[in-house]
Amino acid sequence: MLDVVKTAAIHAGRKVLLKRPKGLTYTSKERLGDFATDADTDSQTIIITELQRRFPRHNFVAEEDSLRVDNHSEYTWVIDPLDGTIPDSSGLPIFGISIGLLKDSKPVLGVVNLPQQGWLFWAEKAKGAFMNGERIRVSDKKELIKCVVGFDYAYPGMRQEELTALISPVVDKVRYPPMLGSAVAACSFVAKGILDGYLHSAHPWDYAAAAVLVTETGGRVSDFQGQPIDWSKEWINFLPAMV
């Protein structure tokens, strides 16, 4: 199963990179400032086609076109075919492909491909986490002032509230608070120990794979109140960090 997912993520990443120099086609979504490109949709087609061919009885949830396939299975694939559409379409290098698997509504497998960096992350429950075949771990910093903690904004109209509630209280209490534009990339950086933590609100497909990466590298995943994630929600307050 893991090999199938890694292959799908690699093929999708190659497609996204091939789209960059050729120009992108844009499609607006319902929310102000939200859009997709043909890189998003082509990547999703590659992933869904491969996974449905191999696992036709599983459930599927994916970002583009609000894809939902419910086969009443204990397994659900949760897919973000391109997280970081704005950075990608702007020529910035931070974006990724995320494929997570829930079993009985709990994350058990995750694969993230950051194609611009050539970094492929994967993790299975109780088996550790890896980047390009090498085992990775979260950072071991103990003092918040020494930590680099990432943030990201959600959609226009929500950002001032987030700035006031999340960022302002801690911005002077950490070493540095970068904003990356891709939750998939940021959470992978937490798993690798590049970031010490990350705060962001987004959809389940932004986090399903990352949750396995972070927990399997010794980190902790919670909502903003420190409680376990409810993966049935459409919108998740996500806080992955080193323990």
Report pTM.
0.92
Residue 72: which CATH number?
3.30.540.10
pLDDT attached to residue 162? 81
**Which of residues 135, 154, 169 is at a domain's end?**
135
- pLDDT (tens digit, 9 = 90+) per residue, 48-91? 999 999 999 999 999 887 789 999 999 999 999 999 998 998 88
**Which of residues 135, 167, 187 is at a domain's end?**
135
- Say which residue the tokens 């086969």 belong to: 71
Residue 192: which CATH number?
3.40.190.80
Same domain, 6 and 126: yes
Same domain, 86 and 69: yes
pLDDT attached to residue 201? 87
Residue 201: DSSP 8-state: E
The whole domain housing 31 covers 2-135
Same domain, 193 and 151: yes
Q: 21 pLDDT exceeds 80?
A: no
Alpha-carbon distances, residue 88 vs 3, 85, 156, 204, 215 (angstroms): 26, 5, 19, 21, 27
Residue 27 has a CB neighbour count (10 Å cut-off) of: 13
Q: 43 pLDDT exceeds 50?
A: yes
- Relative to beta strand 26-28, strand 197-202 is unpaired
- Nearest CA among 200, 190, 231 for reference residue 108: 231
pLDDT attached to residue 32? 46
- Say which residue the tokens 């376990």 belong to: 228
Phi and psi dihedrals of 214, rounded to 5?
-70, -45
Q: Read off the amino acid at residue 241.
A: A
Band of residue 211 on the pLDDT scale cut at 50, 70, 90: very high
Residue 167: DSSP 8-state: I
Q: Cα 178 vs. chain centroid, distance in angstroms?
A: 17
- pLDDT (tens digit, 9 = 90+) per residue, 86-145? 899 888 999 999 999 999 999 999 999 999 999 999 999 999 999 999 999 999 998 999
Same domain, 173 and 88: no
Tell me the C-alpha distance between 169 and 172, whole Å.
8
Tell me the C-alpha distance between 203 and 91, whole Å.
24
